[in-house]
Chains A and B, each alone.
Chain A
Amino acid sequence: MSEKLQRLLILTILLICIPAILFALSADEIITKMDRLSTFATTFATGSIQTTDRFGTKTSLFKSWSQGEKDSLIEFTSKAEQGQKILRTEGSLYLFYPDAEQLIRMQGAALRQSMLGSDLSYEDMTEEKNTLDNYKASLDGLETFKGRECHVLTLTAKNRSVAYPIQKIWVDTESYLVWKAEYSTQAGRLLKEMEVLETFISGDRVLPGKSMIADKMKKDSSTLMTIDTFEANPKLDKSIFTLENLTW
């Protein structure tokens, strides 16, 4: 191969690669965009949590409100838990049990308690959408999942305050929806797996409509979380995320 041809070949490769390098998103940028697209100024949703084990399915119904990254309120409407509420604000979680008219403030490890016997913890259910505050992200590459091209990222916990030390997530390259997630221990042992089964569109965003959370430590145990109705950016009363409303 002549020198001229070699130079031309190198130049061509550079011309192809440089834009890709320049415009490729870093892991942090993907996470930031993922968080941004799953966060709304305000939301209101109704849905259900169905926990299935070998004895059958248990269903809990809920209403939820959220505001920005950190505020969320969940109220259970099914009979066994009617009126129980969970308020999450920065750093704290408040539970209200209407039978005892009791307001309980929880912090730390207590947030990891299973909620209503499901495979979800209080922390999972009211997760703050500030992933990079708690995790260091690395990009593993691209994979196709359910026919969608996804960024595959590994998230490693920066501190011990999170429920899962390691997460591996599959993020849609277009919609930035997390199609799949694997939650593992520090030693890499798989604890739970989440997979989005159905999606819906709100404005220009794709959101999970049905998600299956499987506990990999147990056979025949899974939790199906379904969003039945969803409203983006509704006008919410400013008192919704207050103790006054929690104890109402």
Chain B
Amino acid sequence: MVGKKTQRIVLSCIAVALSLSPLIAAENPVISMDLLPTVSYQAKDSTWKEFMSADLGVTLASKREGNVRGEVVLRGNSLKAVTSFDDVLHKAYFKARFPSFRLTAGKTRLSWGDGILFNAGDVLYGSNSTSVSLTQAELRSTTNWLASVNYPLGFFSFAEAVVMPSDTHDPTDMLFGTRYYTTVKDIKVELGYATKKPASEVRVHKPYISLQGNLGFDWYLSSSIAIPVAGDIAKKSGESWMISAGILHLVTLPLDRSLTLRLELLTRPFGAWETGPVTDGTAAILLYPELVLSYSPSLSFSLRSIISPMDLSAMSTLGMSWNIFDAFNLIGSLSLFTGDQGDLFAWNSTDPTKPSFSATVGSSWVF
């Protein structure tokens, strides 16, 4: 039986959707639908499960013209419980262009730093967790309510400031951040800082630096540290120090095929360097190798892994994507955890969201 709270949320969603119907008629909504039947195996209790993961997204965007534009994106997944309207409201923001600066306000995302999985420069959302699905094209997509001002400082430089509300609704707990983005010779340089007070913790100051360049292959490097205002400042700061780095190279193969190689690394110099089981937040080193073979412009195969060298465990996903028709893809994946009990990626994990093995064949369509 559906609870009253869920009913209210569903009715709210419908009301918002109906209120947006003039926008739907005017601006042509974009709907994305991923239907992914999956079979998984949990080694801990030797059980097989089958389930359907359905991702649905509706995007309503204004025209990209004039000095104001906005977008509303509703997203839901059949496997995720909805507890508030915020859970399905992925984005709702406007951008306004003033003569000398740009204002963004609402729920959206700002991408600071570099790295598709590991990005020490992402001081706003944090891109260091390994709780991601390697079957997703977009590995980090967290959004949040924010207001930001972007101030251009030349064609390829800008300064940006952001403020985000806190989880506690206490104004003194809000997040403030700023960054400067520029190019020096042939290297992109990004310097930034954010300060936030996580719930039940002391305020931290998080400066970061992010660089990107090319040495025959594209490379990127980010580093950040979180300095608390109280407690054992030196110890906590040292433990929070993160460095992420990545390289990206494309190798052209015979028959006009190509192999894209990406390797990302996240290291915590004062993390747990002892061999043996590690946790997500303290692992001294994590690796993310990614190989994508473009067999043809419409068919690609990928192998993505997150490797924890300290406990020799890994989560690997072999994927396939075939763009058959306009915006319609057949996708398939095999995911496997290879680690001992207690390891970061344990084969016999007790966490139901981390099955030992899973196989998915489905489709993705945007219309």
Interface residues of A (CB under 8 A from B): 51, 53, 55-59, 75, 79-80, 82-83, 89, 91-92, 98-103, 105-110, 112-114, 117-119, 191-192, 215, 217-218, 221, 239, 241-244, 247-248
Contacts and interface: CB of A to CB of B under 8 A. Distances in A.
B205 interface: no
A76 to B, nearest CB: 11
A107 B297 contact: no
Residue of B157, B260, B323 with most partner-chain A CB within 10 A:
B323
24 contacts: A59-B326, A79-B327, A80-B366, A101-B110, A101-B111, A102-B111, A105-B188, A106-B218, A108-B249, A109-B216, A109-B252, A110-B249, A112-B250, A114-B297, A117-B298, A118-B297, A192-B256, A215-B256, A215-B297, A221-B296, A239-B152, A244-B152, A244-B158, A248-B64
Chain A, interface SS category: mixed
On chain B, which size bracket covers the interface? Answer: 35 or more
Given A58-B325, A101-B108, A108-B217, A243 B294 contact: no
A17 B155 CA distance: 53
B102 interface: yes
B258 A242 contact: no
A107 B366 contact: no
Contact of A58 (B108, B111, B326, B367): B326
Interface of B: 28, 30, 59, 61, 64, 69, 71, 95, 97, 102, 108-111, 138, 140-141, 150, 152, 155-158, 181, 183, 186, 188, 212-214, 216-218, 248-252, 255-256, 258, 260, 294, 296-298, 323-327, 366-367
Given A100-B141, A105-B212, A113-B258, A248 B324 contact: no
A108 B30 contact: no
B156 A101 contact: no
Contact of A243 (B71, B110, B156, B258): B156
B173 to A, nearest CB: 24
A58 B304 CA distance: 28
A160 B152 CA distance: 35
A108 B218 contact: yes
A83 B30 CA distance: 12
Contacts of B183: 92
A26 to B, nearest CB: 32
A106 B217 CA distance: 10
A117 B296 CA distance: 8
B61 A191 contact: no
B297 A79 contact: no
Nearest to A191: B256
